[in-house]
Amino acid sequence: MLAAAPAFAAEKLTLMLDWFVNPDHAPVVLAAEKGFFADEGLDVEIVAPADPADPPKLVAAGKADLAVSYQPQLHLQVHEGLPLVRVGTLVATPLNCLMVRADGPIKTVADLKGRKIGYSVSGVENAIVQALLAKAGLTPADVEMVNVNWSLTPALMTGQVDATIGAYRNFELTQMKLAGGQGKCFFVEEEGLPAYDELIFVAHRDNLDRDRINRFMAAVERGTQFMLNHPAEAKKIFAAHAPDLKDELNATAWDATFGRFAVSPAALDHGRYARFETFLHQAGLVPEVLPVGKLALDPGAAE
């Protein structure tokens, strides 16, 4: 009877994604499917949001343990007073791009004057657009921002907007091509923004369970390593996670995303966060330069 009893009960942890499940989340999905979370004594609930702007707010409100978010958004939200801190990196390179129709009138960022730009996440996308416009000699008053929520590609293809921000070069470009269109990306890190971590894990800074977060990151790291060591098997396991992940869009996006994941998710690049914070301040988007320790940490490092 004693042998039949479980040795311990797995600790529950709720992870809010930034979007519906897609190849950007591959290491997390693999950690779940391969039992890496269970090996760390964790029962991880992976939840897709109803609104992509909600996840960090839910963590700040204590309604989720971790959220997948964006480094630029983190800087802005910490300045707004949200008790958030970066505890890990998922995708370590920018994916965001300003997407336009390849056959449309927008040939340079300066051509956006008088045009509509669609976005999904308020705050962060507006700030990125402001920085891109400034380099092109434009101001936010020169464009109209339109919240299209999940529908970035459809809004662009139907002419609802002239460009989108928040479209990912590894996903929406393929989505547009499969739908019969042709998109063009202006890469944000080539248009005036410093390089940054696209997808990060954020936690409540005043309620950190470092041990549990460390175990979560260890499992995600194993997921990334499995991808690198067994790419074909990893792709098959990911595709089997949900029916819609088997389609051509997700298969192509998988290939375009491979190699962009942080190989050591918990490790923190202090310089990257300091540079982006300074950039936001110089652009007039935040009132002061916060020390990196107010924005991000390595949960395994000594306090």
User: How far is residue 208 CA from its own chain's centroid?
Assistant: 21
Give the neighbor-by-neighbor strand order of the sheet with 11-16: 42-47, 11-16, 66-69, 199-204, 84-91
Q: Are residues 64 and 209 in the same domain?
A: yes
Pair (126, 268) in one structural domain: no
Query: Helices 248-257 and 231-239 meet at what angle, rounded to 10?
Result: 140
d(CA 198, CA 10): 30
Query: What six digits make up the tokens of 273?
Result: 């966060």
Place of tokens 């308020």: 122
Which of 212, 175, 195, 213 shows the shortest CA–CA distance to 271? 195
Is 15 in a helix, a strand, or coil?
Answer: strand
Closest CA to 241 of 10, 66, 15, 34: 34
Regarding whether 221 and 72 lie in a shared domain, the answer is yes
Residue 52 lies in a domain: yes
One domain, residues 76 and 222: yes
Report the alpha-carbon distance of residue 160 to residue 146 in Å, rounded.
9
Q: Please compute Rg for the chain using Cα positions.
A: 20
Q: Which pLDDT score, from 0 to 100, does residue 243 have?
A: 80
CA gap 251, 129 in Å, rounded: 30
How far is residue 2 CA from its own chain's centroid?
45
CA nearest to 18, candidates 197, 281, 175: 197
Residue 4 covered by a domain: no
Q: DSSP states of 154-212 as a string?
A: HHHHTTS-SEEEEEETTTHHHHHHHTT--EEEEEGGGTTPPP--SEEEEEETTS--HHH
Based on the domain organization, do 170 and 215 belong to the same domain?
no
pLDDT score for 127: 83
Question: How many domains are contained in the chain?
Answer: 2
- Domain co-membership, 137 together with 80: no
Looking at the structure, do residues 71 and 126 belong to the same domain, yes or no?
Answer: no
CA distances to 198, 202, 285 from 82, rounded to whole Å, are 19, 11, 16
What is the extent of the structural domain holding 138?
96-191
Other residues' Cβ atoms within 10 Å of the Cβ of residue 236: 11
- Whether 300 is in a domain gets the answer no
The closest alpha carbon to 130, from 154, 112, 106, belongs to 112
Residue 181 lies in a domain: yes
User: Is 6 inside any structural domain?
Assistant: no
Which of 129, 159, 191 is the last residue in one of the domains? Answer: 191
162 within a domain of the structure (yes/no): yes
106 and 166 assigned to the same domain: yes
Are 88 and 107 contained in the same domain?
Answer: no
Are residues 162 and 133 in contact, defined by beta-carbon separation less than 8 angstroms? no
Boundary-marking domain end, from 169, 191, 213: 191
Q: Which residues does 254 contact at the CB level (< 8 Å), separation at least 6?
A: 23, 26, 235, 238
How far apart CA 109 and CA 112 sit, in angstroms, is 6
Question: How many other C-beta atoms lie within 10 A of the C-beta of residue 10?
Answer: 13
Domain assignment present for 63: yes
Q: Is 100 exposed, middle or buried (0-12, 13-18, 19+ CB in 10 A)?
A: buried
Q: Which of 167, 191, 215 is the last residue of a domain?
A: 191
Instruction: Give the span between the Cα atoms of 71 and 15, in whole angstroms.
Output: 17
> Do residue 203 and residue 265 come from a single domain?
yes
* Residue where the block lists tokens 């936690």: 203
Q: For the chain (length 303 residues), average pLDDT per consecutive 10?
A: 54 95 95 98 95 93 97 96 98 95 95 95 82 92 92 93 92 88 93 93 96 97 97 95 86 90 97 95 92 96 72
Report if residue 46 sits inside a domain: yes
Q: What's 154's domain CATH number? A: 3.40.190.10
Q: Which pTM was predicted? A: 0.89
Same domain, 103 and 180: yes
Same domain, 111 and 160: yes
Residue-level pLDDT at 221: 98
Amino acid 144 reads E
